[in-house]
Structure 1
């Protein structure tokens, strides 16, 4: 997972401050996930490591839904990118479904009911989410970056 995050930063780093910041947050989320995964007892303890992970997870999810996704959509609308908007309409429902599962995991942990099997599922969900988000960035942002520079 960490390698795909590095690849995304190499492709899109420096293009847009919001995306850069979000990709850094993704990197932090992956590190936190890996640290927690390396200490499975931390799940049962509901300790600092788990709380830190959940905090980073919710920050990342929120930044996507209440910042980056909106920005990408507005950019596609500004450039009349029908293909990009259609992709967004296709991917956003799946991203919403993944978000619900991530929030449910956080809620379980808040209730002291965090279990290892849910944590393992979380890894696959995060991987899928990152791939979907990378696709959005590629189509909704990179398609217009040269046009944006020309118009500036």
Structure 2
């Protein structure tokens, strides 16, 4: 029995590290989002809007990179680990995840579409107003996604911490 507890701690302790790293990446994504949004707002408010788009293009490139890193880490690492944890504890988490995943997939498709449209625009073909509108829409989508992810974390991971400790 002690061995089973140790292996559970080791297994789910690793999940904790992955989740913590992923949430740190989420924070970095939000910082990049705010930086890009601020840069675009400054560019629209000035007479030299074209000059302001060069920093925006660099911010956009960095934002798209971390957006894709975050989305991929969620889908190809974190969600799989959470589902494994749900299967291990067999307390309704798998069914809960099955209801959440399609909604997450919808936000993923929209984030990928944003990336496809804007990644690689560092060369200069940015239209500030269109990007700002699209970024605002993406912000709403990401807010929805973060809520869904937080629900997954709560139901599939955090509720089991006392059982693992």
CA, structure 1 residues 43+28, in 2 after alignment: closer, same or farther (shift >3 Å)?
farther
Is 1:69–2:79 an aligned residue pair?
yes
**In terms of Rg, which structure is larger?**
2
Match of 2:148 in 1: 132
**Could you tell me whether the CA contact under 8 Å between 1:73 and 1:85 is conserved in 2?**
yes
CA, structure 1 residues 122+146, in 2 after alignment: closer, same or farther (shift >3 Å)?
same
Match of 2:28 in 1: 28
Length, aligned pairs only: 135
TM-score (norm 2): 0.75
Match of 1:8 in 2: none
Counterpart among 95, 99, 109 of residue 100 in structure 1: 109
Is 1:57–2:75 an aligned residue pair?
no
Higher relative helix content: 2
TM-score (norm 1): 0.81
CA, structure 1 residues 43+63, in 2 after alignment: closer, same or farther (shift >3 Å)?
farther
Structure 1 distance, partners of 2:72, 2:120, is 20
CA, structure 1 residues 60+27, in 2 after alignment: closer, same or farther (shift >3 Å)?
same
After superposition, what is the alpha-carbon deviation per residue over 1:96-130, rounded to whole angstroms, capped at 9, x for unaligned? 01000001000000364662211110110111111
Counterpart among 125, 131, 141 of residue 157 in structure 2: 141
Counterpart among 90, 93, 115 of residue 80 in structure 1: 90
Structure 2 distance, partners of 1:80, 1:93, is 21
Q: 4+ residue runs of structure 1 moved beyond 3 angstroms?
A: 41-46, 111-114
**Could you tell me whether the CA contact under 8 Å between 2:22 and 2:73 is conserved in 1?**
yes
What SS class does the counterpart of residue 90 from structure 2 fall into?
coil
